[in-house]
Amino acid sequence: MGRLTEILASAQQRARTAQLPYEGALTPGEAAEILQLAPGSRLIDVRSRAELDLVGKIPGAVEVEWMTYPGWHLNPHFLTQLKQQVDMEALTLFICRNGLRSHKAAEAATLNGYRDCYNVLDGFEGDVDKQTNQRGKLGGWKYNNLPWSQS
């Protein structure tokens, strides 16, 4: 079994265990590894423009807002924008701040014909550390020192 197959099998098992409505759930490190091992895979960053500008971006990620800021309204054009930028046959990984919006985006994409949708658990910044009331200290893409840049 190759490394890509191993990662996907683990992610699929997590999804089955948690009864998720999409193909799998990945750790940030696994997601980064998939992007290296499967050149046709796509990482979809569903954070708002404000988050991308203020918190940081992931190089090579396709940016399609799930919710818009200010107001945090659902992006009514999410699926249209996704279809314009990402082939429906691609291995598609979704990421947001902490994995909640990307969960919904992966579910919506799955329900609309994308077959290989995976959510990146912990997202870009992870959950809030209750002691410091800050993100980025408990998990996530940045915490794991994966590629990102500040704009």
What pLDDT was estimated at residue 85?
Answer: 98
pTM for the whole structure: 0.96
Specify the DSSP class assigned to residue 57. Answer: B
Q: What's the confidence (pLDDT) of residue 93?
A: 98
Q: Which pLDDT score, from 0 to 100, does residue 138 have? A: 82
The predicted structure's pLDDT at residue 132: 85
Q: What is the mean pLDDT of each run of 10 residues along the chain (151 residues)?
A: 95 98 98 97 97 96 96 97 98 97 98 97 91 84 95 71
Q: Whole-angstrom Cα distance, residue 58 to residue 18?
A: 27
Q: Do the Cβ atoms of 92 and 8 come closer than 8 Å?
A: no
Given a contact cutoff of 8 angstroms between Cβ atoms, the answer to whether 52 and 141 are in contact is no
Helix axes 100-111, 78-85, angle to 10 degrees: 80
For 38-74, the pLDDT digits (tens) are: 999 999 999 999 999 999 999 999 999 999 999 999 9
Right CATH number for 3-120 from 3.40.250.10, 3.30.930.10, 3.30.1550.10, 3.20.20.70? 3.40.250.10
